[in-house]
Structures are given as C-alpha cells and as structure tokens.
Structure 1
C-alpha cells in the first residue's frame, strides 16, 4: 500500500470515508428520499406512529454510526498528511472510497437483509420481489468493491 518513500495515499482513510458515505447514501436516499425502507421496517412495519418513531430513532442511530466512519476517515487522512507529505492520487482516493462503499453494501446487505431480516432494500415492491432488490444491492456492492480494488492497485504503480 505504500510506495518506497511511504508516501502513498492512505487507503484506510478512503475506506473509512467510503463506509460512511455508503451509509449516508443508503440512509438519505433509500430511507428518507425514496422511503423504500427504514432501519427496522420489517420487524416494525410503518403501520403506526409508534413504529415510525421507533424506525426514525434507529435510522438516526444508523446515521450516527456512518458519521463516526466519516470522522475517523478524516482523522486518518489528516494524521497521515501531517506526519509526512502524501502522494495524492485521485485513483487511490476514488478506489479506496469504492472499496469502503462496496464493503458497506456487502456487510449491510448480508447482515441486515439476509441474516437478521430487519429490512429489505425496496419494501414498496411486492414481498416476493424483495430478494431480487437485496441481491441487486449485494451485486452493486461487489461491483464497487472489485472496481475499487482495481483502482487502488493501479494507483500503487
């Protein structure tokens, strides 16, 4: 990950930023704008004010966690840049962001959609189609991860 001078782009910073940005995209676009699902909407369907309040609270907790990832990513980036000059790389930044975002999709998709079943990507569609949307979310994450890894490798050369 580091060139001979140890000045390469700090990939862990980009991964943390990608995890946070992926979470923000999920929460802002899928939860709030499109309203396809909320954090616990399979367990607590939005059929009452109480369930909406519970889901809104957990959406906020989720956003707080993604915020922590972004703050940690900025801290790592700032710290690495202060210690020694960095070899800035747009491809390294974009690649590491995609790695983080792809990891977010894969972990969130496997844990929340498949294992725990707390929500599914698009709960506005008929229930029989939910697995297709969940699979698409995982495929999107895997594609971002693969592309990001390729860009990170290319940035190292």
Structure 2
C-alpha cells in the first residue's frame, strides 16, 4: 500500500512536467503552439489553485476537529468510542473529487455551458476548442487523483476498528465536499481568476455565477448538518 501512496504522490508531478513532453503529439502545429505557449504554466497553476486550497482546508479541518470528534464529552470508562473523523474526512475528499467530475461532465461536456478557459480563450474555432478540451482533460485528471486519494482513505477507514460507519457521515461528507469544491472553484475560477463563467452565453453572467455559489452553500450546509447530527446523536447516546 505504501508503494501505491508513492505513485499517487508522483502523479501530480507527471501531470505538471509530462504534458509539454507527451501530450497532444498528434495535434497539428497550431494546436500545439496554442496549448504550450507562454501561458501554459500560469494556466496550470490557475487551474490547480482550487485543488491546492482545498487540500489545505481539508488537512486543516482534519487536524482541527480530529480530537474534538474523536471522543464525545461525558464518555468515561473503557466503553468503545467510535471515531467520526476517518469516514467524514474520506467522504469529504471523495465529495471534492466527485463534485469536480459532476462539474466537468454536466457543465463542460453535456450542457456545454463553459469550458476550462472559455472566458480567456472563447472556443469559437477548432484550435480554441481543442485548447479548452485539453485543459478540461487536465482538470479531470486532477479530479481523478482526488477521487483515488478518497478511495484509499475510505479503504483505510474500513480497516479501522474504531471508525464510525454511519450513513450520515458518508452522505454528509460527500455533500459537504461537493459544496466546498464548488465554492472554492467558483470563487477562484469565476470571480477572481475569471477563467470561465458558469454559463458563457447568457444575458446575465453574474446571476449564474452567484447562483452557482448559492447552490454550493446549500450543499455544504446540508452536508455539515448531516455530520453534525451524527456527532450530536453520538454525544447524547454516550452521556
């Protein structure tokens, strides 16, 4: 399992260094020049910024609330105490990755409301469309990486005798992760970096962008409520 973890850690390095060397080898010269121009690494960093922030937030939350959720107040004696954090954290990470896939599959591919760089590079011709498709692929690659990390965390949770396996924790973490991803991705990509909008061709771009954030806050709130309800019931049952 340790080798698998090392492989996961090497994947971001490959995705950062590998594309200029390996990607799009069958593309025509115009497409290659459009993808691997002077903005390649700035675009890569901009696209990865939500993932970097999310990794810091999830790590911080796991550390901050680990002790708090490890044992409810009032528990005394040798009674078995189930830890809420392993499943909640694994589900949160899975929710982040799956939320990215939902965004990419529904909004980028099926509805085609936007693409990764569609505000910077409007996909109005074949070259621009191909460039956006490339960056959509890089985005999905990192979503896959996050999902794989979440699966490993979930697998490790299943091997822990002290891990709580409540459905509230699983669904709460998934919804909270989805909402958290949308909020960070929306703030960074739609409002700060302006890589794309939720819906590019519309009479009111801002309304769609803020509506997306509102929906995401609801997801986060519902997920957090499910996790908190489980924690509260655990405390009440232990007293």
**TM-score above 0.5, yes or no:** yes
Which residue number in structure 1 is paired with residue 210 of structure 2? 135
Aligned partner of 1:2 among 70, 79, 99: 70
Do structure 1's residue 104 and structure 2's residue 181 form an aligned pair?
yes
Kindly indicate whether residue 151 of structure 2 is the aligned counterpart of residue 74 of structure 1.
yes
TM-score by length of 1: 0.93
- CA shift for structure 1 position 3: 4.5
Structure 2, unaligned runs of 5 or more: 1-68, 73-80, 234-239
Report the Cα distance in structure 2 between the residues aligned to 1:87 and 1:44, rounded to whole angstroms: 47
After TM superposition, which residue ranges in structure 1, 4 or more long, deviate above 2 angstroms? 1-4, 6-9, 83-87
d(CA) in 2 for partners of 1:117, 1:32: 19
Q: Give the greater-gyration-radius structure (CA).
A: 2
Deviates further, 23-32 or 76-85: 76-85
Q: Partners of 2:157 and 2:99 in 1: how far apart?
A: 23
User: What is the RMSD computed on CA atoms of the aligned residues?
Assistant: 1.3
Q: Conserved in 2, the CA contact under 8 Å of 1:7 and 1:84? A: no
Q: Higher relative contact order by CA 8 Å / sep ≥ 6: 1 or 2?
A: 1
* Equivalence for 2:101: 24
Instruction: Please list every run of 5 or more consecutive structure 1 residues that lacks an aligned counterpart in the other structure.
Output: none
Residue 227 (structure 2) aligns with = 152
TM-score (norm 2): 0.62
Kindly state the Cα deviation for residue 147 of structure 1 after the two structures are TM-superposed.
1.1
Q: Across the two proteins, how many residue pairs are aligned to each other? A: 155
For 1:122, the equivalent position in structure 2 comes to 199
